[in-house]
Amino acid sequence: MKSLELLTPLETPELSFANRVFMAPMTRSRAPERVPTALMKDYYAQRASAGLIFSEATQISAEGVGYISTPGIHTEEQVREWRRVTDAVHQHGGVIFCQLWHVGRASHPDFHGGKLPVAPSAIPFEGQVFTPEGMKSTVTPRAMSLEEIARTIEDFRKAAEAAKIAGFDGVEIHGASGYLPAQFLEDGTNQRTDIYGGSLENRARFLLEATDAAISVWGAGRVSVRLWPRFTYNGMSDSDPEKTYLYVVEQLEKRRLGILHFVEFPPSDGVKPISPAVRQAFSRVLVLNCGYDKESAEAAISEGRTDAVSFGSLFLANPDLPKRFELDADLNAPDQATFYGGKEKGYTDYPRLT
């Protein structure tokens, strides 16, 4: 059997990854009190054979909340309970980063004592938010003041510090999926006329300041940034994704960022992928994601298009995914009905190979 590039180790000056089969961040909505649970500890420990686990999106502040039952990393209790998760992952030989999250306008007043969610600009979008009382329509958010922006960057820094106390090996800034940093970056959601809006440099400022805040705590080698150009859910749009995202990548390269987690929808007709130019522009660890299977991931690594691949739904359903790739074993199919919320079912009960 030919050995797989996917299963070769990856070393950086700061970190050692046992393989290049990374686990993508996945919200599982199983923290009803917003505090990590014993079940979450088991779930992550089961998946510790990933080269690197990116945790589910984890809010940096109460203001950053937009969904029910997602965990945070801004209270002492959350930090203490995350520590149990990271300890368990380390005991099983794993490496885990915390994905730091602020949803911005993708929220609802019901999560904020009736106050409006915040955003770069007061631009509404068509959508539904799953609130404690069920699905509700989105509202027009409130534009953040400069003071609020500075405080939110500080919230990112504090959360990065909390992640260190909680025993994570690094942090990822969630710059994807139409949440706050992406809302600043893309011109469809940012109409500011101050230093956080207008030019591309200004629109990228928030994301880069949040990244710098994380770097101030961890050093660049233990910080990842997740980007997802052409993501159109959550009402997102940008007039020139290639230019916008390559500018950000250049800025991250200047900072010698440790990991760039770049997500692109699988190729479709007439859409030129951006990741080849990203590969050229970024010299440290590149992780690609979205729609990969063993064969396409192996090809991407062996052809030098990426250093590692993160797997979402396949890792969700296969706690021992690297082993299954190694043995060419059958894969469990993900059960979408149990993606979000619930207990063990569809979470910690996917069978391992015997």
What residues are labeled active site? 179
Judged by CB, which is closer to ligand FMN: 27, or 332? 27
Tokens 């997602």 identify what position?
70
Task: Give the shortest CB-31-to-ligand FMN separation in angstroms.
Answer: 12
Q: E strand or H helix at 300, and its extent?
A: helix 294-302
Task: Give the shortest CB-125-to-ligand FMN separation in angstroms.
Answer: 19
Residue 283: C-alpha distances to residues 157, 217, 347 (Å): 25, 22, 36
Dump the DSSP string for 71-96. Answer: -BSSSHHHHHHHHHHHHHHHHTT--E
- Confirm if 194 and 246 have CB atoms less than 8 A apart: no
Three-state SS at 229 = coil
Judged by CB, which is closer to ligand FMN: 176, or 204? 176
Question: Alpha-carbon distance 189 to 118, whole Å?
Answer: 12
- Report the interface residues with ligand FMN, using CB under 6 A: 24-27, 56-57, 99, 174, 176-177, 226, 263, 289-292, 311-314, 339
Question: Alpha-carbon distance 289 to 103, whole Å?
Answer: 21
Question: Alpha-carbon distance 189 to 209, whole Å?
Answer: 18
Q: Which residue is nearest to ligand FMN (CB)?
A: 312
Question: Alpha-carbon distance 101 to 60, whole Å?
Answer: 6
Task: Give the shortest CB-27-to-ligand FMN separation in angstroms.
Answer: 4
Judged by CB, which is closer to ligand FMN: 192, or 227? 227
Q: How many CB atoms lie within 10 A of CB 126?
A: 8
Judged by CB, which is closer to ligand FMN: 26, or 197? 26
Judged by CB, which is closer to ligand FMN: 216, or 313? 313
Task: Give the shortest CB-198-to-ligand FMN separation in angstroms.
Answer: 27
Q: Which amino acid is at 7?
A: L
Task: Give the shortest CB-264-to-ligand FMN separation in angstroms.
Answer: 10
Task: Give the shortest CB-334-to-ligand FMN separation in angstroms.
Answer: 7
Residue 78: C-alpha distances to residues 37, 164, 250 (Å): 10, 13, 34
Judged by CB, which is closer to ligand FMN: 60, or 192? 60
Question: Alpha-carbon distance 91 to 45, whole Å?
Answer: 8
